[in-house]
Structures are given as C-alpha cells and as structure tokens.
Structure 1
Amino acid sequence: MKIALATILVVALAFAALTAWGAWKWRGLTQSLVDRLEASRVAPSPARFDAQELAGLPPVVQRYFRVTMPDGAPIVAAVTVEHTGTFNLGETVDNWTPFSSYQRVVTRRPGFVWDGRMNLLPGLGVRVHDAYVAGEGVLHPTVLGLFTLMELRGTGAVAEGEFMRFFAEAAWYPTALLPSQGVRWEAVDERSARATMTDGGLSLTLTFTFDAQGLMESVRADARGRTESGKIVMRPWEGRWSNHQWREGMRVPLSGEVAWLLPPEEGGRKPYWRGTIRSLSYEWAPY
C-alpha cells in the first residue's frame, strides 16, 4: 500500500513539474511571437477618422461606419482581447470544448497572435497558437505546451487563412476597414458589400453583410483553407457577429460564431468557434 501511494505521489509530482515546464516554455513561445508582431508594427495614418472619406462608398458601408464610430474618432493601432467560449474539436462529429484565450492585434502592419487554452481531459491542457505575423501564418496546437499535435507555418495558404481571420475580425477594430487604411469597397446589394484588403503579396476580398441598423451581421469568404485529415482543403467560410456594444467610443460585436459552409452531403453549415469577448482594450494611433 505504501509503495502504491509513493508511486502515485511520484507520478503526480512528475506531472506537475511537466505541466509547469510546459507553461513556462509556452509563455516564451507566445512572447516570441508577440515580440515579432510588435517589431513589424507601424503607426496608422491618418490618426483620426474623417467622415469625408466615406464619400463615394456604397450606402450600406457609409451607414455602417456612421453607426459604429463618431467623426473624428481615433484610429486603432493595437488591440488586446480576451475571449471565452467553446471550440468544436471534431472534424466529422461535433466535440465542443470550452476555451479561454488572449489575443494581441496590431492594425499596421496587419497581424495578430492568438493564444488559446482548453482541456482535452481534466488537467490535460491543450495550448494553441493561431497567428499572422509579418506576412507569415502560424497554426500550432500542443499538449501541455510541449508536445506538438500539428504545426503549420508559411507564406502560402496558411498565411492567407490567417490574414483572412485578421480581416474578418476587424469588426472588433473597425477603423482598420476604412478606405484611409487601404480597404477598397464595392456594393453587392442594399445589405452587403465586398471589401478588399492587401498586405504585401496577399490580397483578399470578403463579403460583409449588415443588419437593418447598419451594424455588421456577417462576413463570408468563398474559400478558406480548412485542415482535413492533415491536408488543407479550400472551403466556403462564414463569421456571424452579434451583441453589439459601445466600447471606448466604438460600437463593436462582443459575441460571434464561425463556421465552415460544407456541401449538404457533408453535413452543411458546420460551426467550430463560438466566443464572447471578456475584455477589450485599445491603443490609438499617435497624433
């Protein structure tokens, strides 16, 4: 009995030490990504929103900016976000798991680092980096921050998918969608418009839809890279935003759901992320 208890104690101490080591190592990897993100950062220009720049935009887009921010609002330079929610780990069968996360965003040069945390089993944590840094995409899930489950990095399809995430999540930092920040808009219909954003050699066009009040309702891509059986397959993709509230002078959605739009024979619309912003803090362009 004493030997068994001693063995359990040794195993528990070893697991605790492994967990602490993994947390320390993961913090270092996260900080390295954030440091690279900050090193690529430049100040947005101009430093304030001038409503005159809306002239010529589709009416639905003009209405969106007018209900989202006042004339003269400062331009967002960086954002710190914390989320809670659930993530669907199942590729074919739903497996929703709670997560919490920290995210750092800079708007010029566009990029972000997302540090997500969830548990596969009690005490068995999964740590995930999802990032777009200086034109490179990163997707790196691990167990305990030590054992890599998958690692995708590069400037091709991985970078495009991560840049797309930055673009879609601009609902949280809407000044990044202004024409003065390099975004081009064209009308689709009374409720939607296409926007194009460029970073280096990447150029993306997404379709944004707005509700009757003019607030952003959804964003859609005709194709985004989805990991299926270890390979990247291009699939239609959609984000839906809700619970718009005023935060530091801008009206932004605090809840969202992201989904793959699969063919009916493959199950149809498949949500995989549902989240709520727990905290949101902005840094503004200097002026």
Structure 2
Amino acid sequence: MKRGKKIMVWLLGVIVLIVLCVMLWFNLSYSPTKSEFKEITSNQISEMQPQNGLFTIEDISKLPSPVQKHFQYCGYIGTPKMSNMKAYYNDVDFVLYPDKPKLKIKYIQYNFVDEPARIAFIDTSMYGVPFEGMDTYQNGIGSMKGVIAKAFTLFNQKGEGMDKSSLVTILSESLLMPNLALQDYVSWEEIDETHARATITYYGISASGIFTFDDNGAMIMFTTDDRENTDTNGNIQKVKWSAICGGYKELNGIKYPTSLQAVWHYETGDLVYFDGRNIVIKYDVAN
C-alpha cells in the first residue's frame, strides 16, 4: 500500500515537472522557427544590392496612367529608392481555415527589390499553445510552413503552385514598395483610368493581377487568379484572391495604407482570412 502511494506521488511529481517544463518552453521568447526567420532575413539583407537614386517623373513615364498617379499621390517623386521593406502588423484578425475561430496574430514581413524575395513570420497561439508560421519566397522558390508548440510542423507547403502563389503575393505588394514596380521583371498594361494589369516573371514563372485605384490615385485593391488554396483535407485548387488596402495616412511626406485585408473569393462566398490594421512600413534606402 505504501509502495503504491509512493509510485503515485512519484508519477504525480513527474507529471507536474513535465507540465512546468512545457509551460516554460511555451513562454520562452526563443523558438526554432523564429530563429530560422531571423537567420534567413539577416542573410537576405546581407546579400541584397543597395538601390541608388531618387524617384523621378522619367522613371514612371512609361507606367500606366493610374500607376503614375499613385506614385504622385503617395509622394514618392523626389524621395530615395528603397532596397527593401519591413512591414509590421500588430493588430491582425487571422483565420487559418473556413469555419475556424479567428486568431489574433502578430505579423512581420520583409520584401526585397534587387530580386523578388519575401520573408514573413506569424506569431500567435491556439488555446494557449504557440502557433507560428513562416512564408518565404527566395531564389524562385516559395514555401509556407506552420508549426505548433514550437516543435511540431502542421504543414509545409511547397511546389510549383506555391512558387507562383508566392510570386504573385510579391506583385500584390509591389506598390507598397514601389521601386519593385519599376524593375525589369515587372511589366505593366493600362486598362482604364482606375485599373492596370501587372505581370511579374522570375525563374521562368509568370503571375499577374489587376490593380484598382480610387479617383485620387490611391491603390485600393489587387485581384488575381494565380494563387492556390489548400483546404483542410489537403485539396489544392485555384481560387480568386484579393488584397484590399486603405486608410492612407501621411508620414514624413509619404502616404501609406494603414489597413490591409486578404480575401479568398470562394464559390460559397468571400472569406476575409487576414484583416490587418495599424500597419507600419519602413524602408531601407542607400545613404
């Protein structure tokens, strides 16, 4: 009887120790995925080619008229051309899959100009368990990874479809970092006074979409058919996708959007799966 009690106490002690270790692990600022994100980003920054010069009227003279109007509306003319962009989203409602509850997430992303590259990190928790995600597009390869409890990979999507989806996401954000819109790997076609089509081509893959502008010249939406969606059963399908931005505010002479929504246009209805507010955008420019 006494031996049985000792075993129970020992087992209880082990369980308590395991729970404490798990809680400590969950609350540590360190995680393998976050460390990987920082390392990849640091390497990309160290290898990027600085962009020189100022935006000029001549630079934008061959762009569609609504894109030219956007450059002028936002105040880029006469300002330094950026080498990369860092965007902070500290107030985001995020839905991982339809019919799942919303998550509050923190989202950080880096975009680069000399070659189309994008690295993003999601940080949140589900029922108290850390969930982290990382999106990357480098050297023509796109991937999307989700990790729970800092140790267990839920998904790690790769392949040609992901390469194209990641490339078109970079295109959708090109006017947030407009030096990218001037690169040789992006081509433009005017549709009308408030719409323009853009195509990005890299490593033999092309993706395109349509930008919509308001009457002032502010870019308010990008829509494409070149993104793939994976459902909870692992089925992959092409779904129309939009990025919607607004709430333009001026900072240091430049107007930036402060809100961004990402929307899947399913046949059953639209899903706003990313709803970000209070966006902060910073650029690296040559000295």
TM-score range, shorter chain: 0.7 to 0.9
Question: Where do 4+ consecutive residues of structure 1 move more than 3 Å?
Answer: 1-9, 20-24
Residue 66 (structure 2) aligned to one of 47, 56, 60:
60
After TM superposition, the structure 1 stretch with the greater mean CA deviation from structure 2, 18-27 or 131-140, is 18-27
Residue 130 (structure 1) aligned to one of 135, 141, 144:
135
TM-score (norm 2): 0.87
Q: Which residue of 1 aligns with 2:30?
A: 23
User: Is structure 2 residue 16 aligned with structure 1 residue 13?
Assistant: no
Q: Which residue of 2 aligns with 1:111?
A: 117
Instruction: Provide the C-alpha distance between the structure 2 equivalents of 1:279 and 1:190, rounded to a whole number of angstroms.
Output: 29
- Distance change >3 Å, CA 38–CA 70, structure 1 → 2: closer
Residue 193 (structure 2) aligned to one of 190, 194, 200:
190
Q: Which residue of 1 aligns with 2:173?
A: 169
SS of the residue corresponding to residue 227 of structure 2 reads: strand
User: Is structure 2 residue 156 aligned with structure 1 residue 151?
Assistant: yes
User: How big is each residue's C-alpha offset from its partner over 1:130-178, in whole Å with a ceiling of 9 and x where there is no partner?
Assistant: 1112211111101022100011234x11111111111112232123213
Instruction: Provide the C-alpha distance between the structure 2 equivalents of 1:249 and 1:270, rounded to a whole number of angstroms.
Output: 34
Structure 1 residue 81: deviation in Å?
A: 1.9
Q: Which residue of 1 aligns with 2:221?
A: 218
SS of the residue corresponding to residue 126 of structure 1 reads: strand
TM-score (norm 1): 0.87
Residue 232 (structure 1) aligned to one of 226, 231, 236:
236
Residue 206 (structure 1) aligned to one of 205, 209, 213:
209
User: How big is each residue's C-alpha offset from its partner over 1:169-224, in whole Å with a ceiling of 9 and x where there is no partner?
Assistant: 2232123213x554322111221110122223222221000011110010000231
- Structure 2 unmatched ranges of 5 or more: none
- Structure 1 unmatched ranges of 5 or more: none
Instruction: Provide the C-alpha distance between the structure 2 equivalents of 1:36 and 1:159, rounded to a whole number of angstroms.
Output: 20
- Distance change >3 Å, CA 58–CA 206, structure 1 → 2: same
8 Å CA contact 2:258, 2:280 repeated in 1: no
8 Å CA contact 1:33, 1:133 repeated in 2: no
The higher radius of gyration belongs to: 2
Residue 253 (structure 1) aligned to one of 250, 257, 278:
257
8 Å CA contact 1:118, 1:127 repeated in 2: yes
Structure 1 residue 37: deviation in Å?
A: 2.7
Instruction: Provide the C-alpha distance between the structure 2 equivalents of 1:135 and 1:36, rounded to a whole number of angstroms.
Output: 16
Instruction: Provide the C-alpha distance between the structure 2 equivalents of 1:107 and 1:56, rounded to a whole number of angstroms.
Output: 19
8 Å CA contact 2:71, 2:77 repeated in 1: no
Structure 1 residue 234: deviation in Å?
A: 1.0
User: How big is each residue's C-alpha offset from its partner over 1:42-85, in whole Å with a ceiling of 9 and x where there is no partner?
Assistant: 233x5321112333433222211111224222111012222130
User: How big is each residue's C-alpha offset from its partner over 1:61-118, in whole Å with a ceiling of 9 and x where there is no partner?
Assistant: 2211111224222111012222130111233x14211101222222221112111011
8 Å CA contact 1:36, 1:133 repeated in 2: no
Q: Which residue of 2 aligns with 1:281?
A: 282
SS of the residue corresponding to residue 209 of structure 2 reads: strand
Instruction: Provide the C-alpha distance between the structure 2 equivalents of 1:137 and 1:40, rounded to a whole number of angstroms.
Output: 19
- Distance change >3 Å, CA 234–CA 36, structure 1 → 2: farther
Q: Which residue of 2 aligns with 1:98?
A: 104
8 Å CA contact 1:58, 1:185 repeated in 2: yes
Residue 247 (structure 2) aligned to one of 243, 246, 255:
243
User: Is structure 2 residue 93 aligned with structure 1 residue 86?
Assistant: yes
- Distance change >3 Å, CA 39–CA 161, structure 1 → 2: farther
Instruction: Provide the C-alpha distance between the structure 2 equivalents of 1:135 and 1:257, rounded to a whole number of angstroms.
Output: 25
Count how many residue pairs are aligned between Structure 1 and Structure 2.
Answer: 278
Percent of aligned pairs with the same amino acid: 21
Structure 1 residue 8: deviation in Å?
A: 5.8
